[in-house]
Structure 1
Amino acid sequence: MSTVGKAVALLEHFTLKEPEIGLSELARKAGLDKATARRLLMALAEHRLIEQEPQSRRYRLGAGLSRLARMRDAHLPFVRVAAPMVRDLALETGETVHLCEFSAGALLTVHVELSARANRVNVDVGQVLPLHGTASGIAFLAFSRPETVEAYFGKPLAAFTPHTMTTRDKVMTAVQLAATRGYSRSAQGYEEGVHSIAAPILGSDGFPLGTLAVASPVSRVDDTTADRQGQAARQASARISTHLTGEQWHASVPLRQR
């Protein structure tokens, strides 16, 4: 791995559950010796991408990342545009709704509205979702360019639960169904006990930028509920697509047939 890759890998170990990490633990997580980890952290700190808490001496993400995020949002306002409609969908369904953006061959969770119910699905901002094991991923593949789909199948499909689809034929059957009805459905493919419905958010070229998903405890969803959530997700994703692109996307019919 290149020096840049190692430095970026250090950043990716910080999460909402673990926002501060000590040097030894961070080096262990990244598979680096302490001297190398310290050198990389010092370089990141020079650009304000990492900072050290004065008392604990633990590391955390720096304000420089916020500056870069603001610059990106000003140019590509994905979360800012979508957030109100994500919130509306969460209120309408009573379930957790999360927004993902496609990046580096996977879906990155960029915004979450948690259900107000005590028994709910928890999703973290920053969580990376595979394309074959989630409703979000299936919805994304269903409306992607053929070359994007082919590139994804160029690597093994990992099993996350006993229910994960790990063969191309099974995944493509789900992809084709999602393309026909405009939303995807997955039960326990990525996390046991979780049922998800997802719809694509399209860019101006008609291909997906990301996805919008409703996540529920599997015990709370039957076919009628799933269809209701699917129609609501389609309508919300079409509104987001329209706001982002200025194009009029209609949720009343499938966005693309494959």
Structure 2
Amino acid sequence: MDIDTGSQSSAMNKGSGTQSIERAARILREIASFSVHGLRLSDLATQLKLERPTIHRILSCLVREGLVMQHPQTRRYLLGHGLYELGLTAATQFKLQAICEPSLKRLAQSTGDIAFLTIRSDSDAISIARAEGGEPVTVPAIQIGVHRPLGVGAGSLALLMLLPDDEISRICHANAKRLFTYGGLSVPSLLKIVKHSQDVGYATHDSSLIPGLSGVGTVIRDSAGAPLAALSVTALAGSLSQARQQELVSLLRTESREIQNLVHQANLDISDLRGRV
């Protein structure tokens, strides 16, 4: 029987190309998860379980394309300007931020605190918009576009607490090393915060989650009823009284209902955030 070596070679090249793309995507996501401080080549090799030459080859290509950059002093890898430019282009396709902007402004003005719109990205959360009711705040952990472990922050916590218990546990353990950078947060302590939020029916945390900050969050559902994003309010306080929490929850739920009505009218669902192939 004749063997079509040309077809075999084509299939192998196609598989190899797909594998390289998948590895590049994993590298970008991993760097994004540590976007504030960046990662060393050795960190990436360990965390992704890939050989250092393989990681270096892909990183070199990503740097040339402007998708990754290397800090000149620390030699750590960070996301590059190319991704920022692509993100600005892609942002025009998504309606959620525009739909939520009036609600964020109303929440910030009525509370005097910071209102956030947060989405999930696999085991992370990303705040994609915010409005401030007082003086500008520059705490790195709550900046727009920063990847945080899912559960860190009121909106992020609101998205995590609705997942099945086994999925919550898996995500928390997968993020264990990163959790420690948030005031020494551990998996057991985060799971305790999740359980408390589930018991009261809304996401709530004090400064044990993010030092110096407290927050309350609720989920926004898409046109099919699935969690689409989270709306939250963060205060520069060590804790919030029960009365204050209830006041914020009432405001958040009112705005969440308003957003959900607009989402339903726009027929927006979670696939509009994750993209379609």
TM-score interval, smaller chain:
0.5 to 0.7
Equivalent residue, structure 2, for 1:251: none
Equivalent residue, structure 1, for 2:227: 208
- For residue 197 of structure 1, give the secondary structure of its aligned residue in structure 2: strand
The structure-2 alpha-carbon separation of the partners of 1:9 and 1:242, relative to structure 1 and needing over 3 Å to count, comes to same
The structure-2 alpha-carbon separation of the partners of 1:52 and 1:36, relative to structure 1 and needing over 3 Å to count, comes to same
Maintained 8 Å contact 1:199/1:234: yes
- For residue 210 of structure 1, give the secondary structure of its aligned residue in structure 2: strand
Equivalent residue, structure 1, for 2:252: 233
- Please report the TM-score for the alignment, with normalisation by the length of structure 2: 0.63
The structure-2 alpha-carbon separation of the partners of 1:99 and 1:189, relative to structure 1 and needing over 3 Å to count, comes to farther
Q: Which moved more, 1:109-118 or 1:79-88?
A: 109-118
The alignment covers a number of residue pairs equal to 230
Q: What is the Cα deviation at residue 207 of structure 1?
A: 2.0
Q: Which moved more, 1:111-120 or 1:198-207?
A: 111-120
Q: Does 1:62 align with 2:84?
A: no
Q: What is the Cα deviation at residue 202 of structure 1?
A: 1.0
Equivalent residue, structure 1, for 2:199: 176
1:218 to 212, 218, 237: 237
Distance across 1 between alignment mates of 2:154 and 2:84: 30
Q: Does 1:153 align with 2:169?
A: yes
Maintained 8 Å contact 1:119/1:217: no
The structure-2 alpha-carbon separation of the partners of 1:196 and 1:170, relative to structure 1 and needing over 3 Å to count, comes to closer
Equivalent residue, structure 2, for 1:81: 99
Maintained 8 Å contact 1:7/1:41: no
The structure-2 alpha-carbon separation of the partners of 1:80 and 1:10, relative to structure 1 and needing over 3 Å to count, comes to same
Distance across 1 between alignment mates of 2:69 and 2:148: 28
More helix by share: 2
Distance across 2 between alignment mates of 1:171 and 1:10: 26
Q: Deviations over 1:194-225 (max 9, x none)?
A: 11011111111212112111111225733322
Maintained 8 Å contact 2:33/2:148: no
Could you tell me which amino acid in structure 2 is paired with residue 152 of structure 1? I
Q: 1:157-168 residue pairs with structure 2 within 5 A?
A: 158=176, 160=180, 161=183, 166=188
Bigger-Rg structure (1/2): 2
Q: What is the Cα deviation at residue 30 of structure 1?
A: 4.5
- For residue 227 of structure 1, give the secondary structure of its aligned residue in structure 2: helix
